[in-house]
Structure 1
Amino acid sequence: MTARSVACVGAGPAGLLAATQIKLARPGWQVLVYERAPKDVTYGYGVVFSDVAVRTIEYLAPELGALLANQTRWDDVEIRAGGARYRIPGHGYAALSRHRLLGALAGRAAAVGVDLRYETPATLDDLRGEHDLVVAADGAHSQIRGQLAEELGATVRYGRSKFAWLGTTASFDAMTFVFERTEHGVVVAHGYPHEDGLSTFVVEVPGDGPERGLTQWAEVFADHLGGQALRANGLRWERFPVVQLRNCVHRNVVVIGDAAHTVHYSVGSGTRMALEDGFYLARSLARHDELAPALAEYQRRRLPSTGELQSAGERSMRWFEDAPSHLNKPPAQFAVHLLTRANSVPLATLTAEASQLAEDATEALAGPLSDRDLLDLPLTVGPVRLAGRLAVEAPGSLMVPIAVVDPTRLADDPAWSADFAGAKVISVDLGPYREDPAEERANARRMTAALRDLDRPEDTVLAIRSTLASTADLPPPALLARLRELCAAGWCDLVDLAADDGPPALAAALETADLVRRETGRPVMLSRFRAAHDIVRTHLLAGRIDLWCAESGARP
């Protein structure tokens, strides 16, 4: 292959590992790293990796994996909220300072022959003219991505919370989430150890709360800092940028790392993804003798692989933004809600890892019935006392306490369910919300007229079903407004959120159900989704849903 010149812009984890791996794969190439900041200047404190990430990095870059194996390690998550503390083992983390990580990556890059140029800003036009390939690894606020935003299909959205990366000599021996109420609202801290007697302490302020200074924040979190001070490498507050690309390649430019995709810090996978980008880019360049097919292969393989983790990161980000509303739950239920914010966890696993937490959360939900299977807990819905939390759409199944009729359109008379286990349910299907505002208003008028004319016996549950699009992360405002109006008018005892005909997006549906439950004050049921019994139990325990309805013949 013809000798090439490669410019990597940005001396962060993605740029440094990409440069190193490209040089190893193509020793005859000229590989340079351009970094506008001085050497050894970095923002932030510790970088954390899960055990899964450590094993991945050991495979991708053995020297870096060996470094991580000898860093600060711990196994627990600790949640501090509402005067309670819950500690959950069995996770596994490793952490080191960002300064040490970058130093190790830079040293390795220089050792294999990469030309590192610090305090050297570089423009895209100049780089394209001087180099065969430009690797844009210039971070979440990438200038190169900004210049190519239209060609890359780039979108950048910002979270609602403000946050700052701080450090402290206070001792933390777990991934610690701290929630404190102040006169300005709830504030959150993410604390974890990394090395040299230091811990990272990220302070997050949901909404528009005050930023304050280090001394004031040390006072807010004094009970958790043990009297130790807070410090900052250049204190700055920002809102988390959610970066997504439709394409990560344009001609001879490839965008990697945070410049291409960000994952919220509460999930802790951004650095791992950046390192993976650098490794797989070099692998693609090693497999092809021409740049175009190599870059096409990288884009084809890499872009889809980041989507699921980014979605989990966004769900986690929104969870912390909504922390004030979650804190109304009992402390144990709140802790379960936090632990399962981005991934489903079977109740048996949760009980095995944190038996006291599971016991306390069950008692908070079930009271004196805490020894009963959560699926068999009774629930009052409107005027009816249901015998349990499972349902199927077709009446007559012996496994379920309630029956939900096949939904009908509003133009027809609502169908009745059979009298089953003492419950009668009218299910009115509103269908999906209309994208067109005029159509949605017309649908709302039809819906209102139909419900006004409904002859509803007193011992009947009125369930309002809405279909959730499989591609939607959250319900559209129009759907929430529709449900709030119906509930306020007394025309809804139960909100039924059903999967559409597309791929069932359970994680998004659970987040939607949780939001609808808070917004309407009504019990919420998910229908036509699939999950194991024990995962349904966990989400009941966390308070995301109240009922689960499977299709006829299907079992959760």
Structure 2
Amino acid sequence: MRIVCVGGGPAGLYFAICAKLHEPDHDITVLERDPPGATHGWGVVYWEPLLGILFRHDPVGARRLRAASTLWREQLLTLGGPRTAYLPGYGYSIQRAALLDLLGQRATELGIEVRHQTEVADAAELAELSARADLVVASDGAHSRVRRLAGPDAFGTRTDDGVNQFIWLGTDMRFENFRFAFERTPAGWIWFHAYPSAADISTCIVECAPETWAGLGLDKLDDEAGRRLLESIFAEQLAGHRLISSCHGRPARWQRFTHVTNRSWRHENIVLIGDAAHTTHFTLGSGTAFAIMDAVMLVWFLKEHGEVSAALREFDRSGRAALKPPQDAARTSMAWFERVDEILADLSPGGPAGDPDPVEFAFAMGTRQGDATPLRHRACKVHQVPAVRALGRQAGQSTRWLLDKRRELATR
């Protein structure tokens, strides 16, 4: 089978890897518009379930990814300075550039051709590509060119923008955990989500309501001035470290999240995967995981059905049904963060100017999907005790050791 993947992100590269491992005779090419190493964004996060999927489908690549990743333990929340609260759990993170480098190397090892600085220019070129290939996999992101060139009715694409403004930055502050820092300003609350993504770099996503963004003048400040203002607002949490805007020569920009859905993920022999098919808000932290799961699922249906059109029909039906609950959860999460100022005002004794309890706010954030119960509230309170947190970290370490041993035994 001749397969062309348009887009060299995690979805396209991992699909190519899985398809080649399943059937070495496949002729697979990945087309990527950017030059090698010119990736967008900083770090991505993932959890144990994704690591398990990676080990089942490509243990060689999974070991490399795990070795290159950073472990973070617990979620720490600060509310207006030194007041802190903790939420349990752990996860992994890796620089997006490192992830793509690992996937690209693995694809090349398997005989997959990865062409950089190559893109589909127009509808005629897409039609020609589709005619020459048995399958075209559109893995070119939320603003997919393939999706647009196929025509407005091909996939029934719908996009909705969130309310809040956010900017994706890096920092040379090395966090050891997943950090949420909320700061009150005269214009309203502003916060960051941060996590370690390399030995000396953390990813730092700053977010706020549009009124706060405009009230602070961030809509008018240039890149350097805006970054200096954010460094001053988060000075205590950054401990004198700097924020970094430029990633591979491209300064970060403020934006609103684009929620992408499609009526169908297939059109003739073209199929959408990853962000081209669907997006999930970054507060859910699962975009890369869903992209890789798309890749695995598509390969599985191709294996089961053999014939492309039948495989794409089943992938489209099953994939959209499976993704609807997490997409709904992501919308709920996005909407919750769009109400942060209101929620903090409700939690403030004596009115909006009072000091809200960080533990109560952490509980509200941790149960933003509507799963708040008295038992979970009590568990949140108990987790603030240092001895309890230490036991949780030890339990997590034991869990990781056991899972690593099981994976090694299963892939020998």
Identify the residue that residue 385 of structure 1 maps to in structure 2. Answer: none
With over 3 angstroms needed to count, the CA separation of the structure-2 counterparts of 1:92 and 1:307, relative to structure 1, is same
Q: CA deviation at 1:6?
A: 1.0
2:87 equivalent to 1:88? yes
The equivalent residue for 1:460 is none
What pairs up with 1:272-351 in 2 under 5 angstroms? 272-328=289-345, 329=347, 330-331=356-357, 332-342=359-369, 344-351=371-378
Listed one character per residue, the Cα deviations across residues 441-478 of structure 1 (whole Å, up to 9, x for unaligned) are xxxxxxxxxxxxxxxxxxxxxxxxxxxxxxxxxxxxxx
Q: Distance in 1 between matches of 2:156 and 2:136?
A: 18
Which residue of 238, 242, 245 maps to 1:225? 238
* Partner residue in 2 for 1:59: 56
What TM-score does the superposition give when structure 1 sets the normalisation length? Answer: 0.61
SS of match in other structure, 2:184: strand
By how many angstroms is 1:251 displaced? 0.7
Structure 1 residue 130 displacement after superposition: 2.6
Q: Counterpart in 2 of 1:508?
A: none
For the structure 1 residues 354 and 231, does the alpha-carbon distance in structure 2 shift closer, same or farther, using more than 3 Å as the test?
same
In structure 1, the partner of 2:21 is 24
| Matched residue, 1:205 | 208
Q: Counterpart amino acid of 1:159? A: G
**Residues 129 and 338 of structure 1: is their aligned pair in 2 closer, same or farther, counting only changes over 3 Å?**
same
1:393-436 C-alpha deviation (Å, 9 max, x unpaired): xxxxxxxxxxxxxxxxxxxxxxxxxxxxxxxxxxxxxxxxxxxx
After the TM superposition, which of the residue ranges 94-103 and 173-182 deviates more from structure 2? 173-182
TM superposition shift of 1:74? 2.1
User: Which has the larger share of helix?
Assistant: 2
* Offset at residue 52 of structure 1 (A): 3.0
Question: What's 1:161 paired with?
Answer: 164
Q: Which runs of 5+ in 1 are unaligned?
A: 359-556
1: CA distance, partners of 2:260 / 2:254:
18
Q: What is the 5 A alignment of 1:248-259?
A: 248-259=265-276
**Alignment partner, residue 281 of structure 2:** 264
Q: Name the count of aligned residue pairs.
A: 354
Q: Deviations over 1:44-63 (max 9, x none)?
A: 11111123333333334323
Aligned to 2:12: 15
In structure 1, what residue type is equivalent to 2:84? R
Using the TM superposition, give the Cα deviation of residue 345 of structure 1 relative to its aligned residue in structure 2, in angstroms: 4.9
- Displacement of 1:196: 1.7
From the superposition, tell whether residues 46 and 343 of structure 1 become closer, same or farther in structure 2 (CA, over 3 Å). Answer: farther
Measured in 1, the distance between the counterparts of 2:344 and 2:177 equals 21
Q: 1:58 to 1:198 in 2, by over 3 A?
A: same
- Kindly indicate whether the alpha-carbon contact (under 8 Å) linking 1:186 and 1:324 is maintained by their aligned counterparts in 2: yes
What are the superposed Cα offsets for residues 163-215 of structure 1, whole Å, 9 maximum, x if unpaired? Answer: 11111111211111111122332212001112121110011122241244222
Following TM superposition, where does structure 1 have runs of at least 4 consecutive aligned residues deviating by more than 6 angstroms?
A: none
Equivalent pair of 1:312/1:343 in contact (CA under 8 Å): no
User: Mean Cα displacement is larger for which, 57-66 or 250-259?
Assistant: 57-66
Task: Identify if the C-alpha distance between structure 1 residues 265 and 103 changes in structure 2 by more than 3 Å, giving closer, same or farther.
Answer: same
Question: In structure 2, the residue corresponding to 1:336 is in which secondary structure?
Answer: helix
Aligned 1:87-236 pairs, distance under 5 A: 87-89=86-88, 91-123=89-121, 124-147=126-149, 148-208=151-211, 209=213, 210-211=218-219, 212=221, 213-232=226-245, 233=247, 234=250, 235-236=252-253
SS at match of 1:279: helix
For the residue of structure 2 that corresponds to 1:127, the secondary structure is helix
Q: In the aligned structure 1, how far is the partner of 2:58 from the partner of 2:337?
A: 33
* 1:69-84 matches, cutoff 5 A: 69-70=66-67, 71-83=69-81, 84=83
Equivalent position amino acid for 1:355 in 2:
V
Q: Which has the higher contact order (CA 8 A, sep 6+)?
A: 2
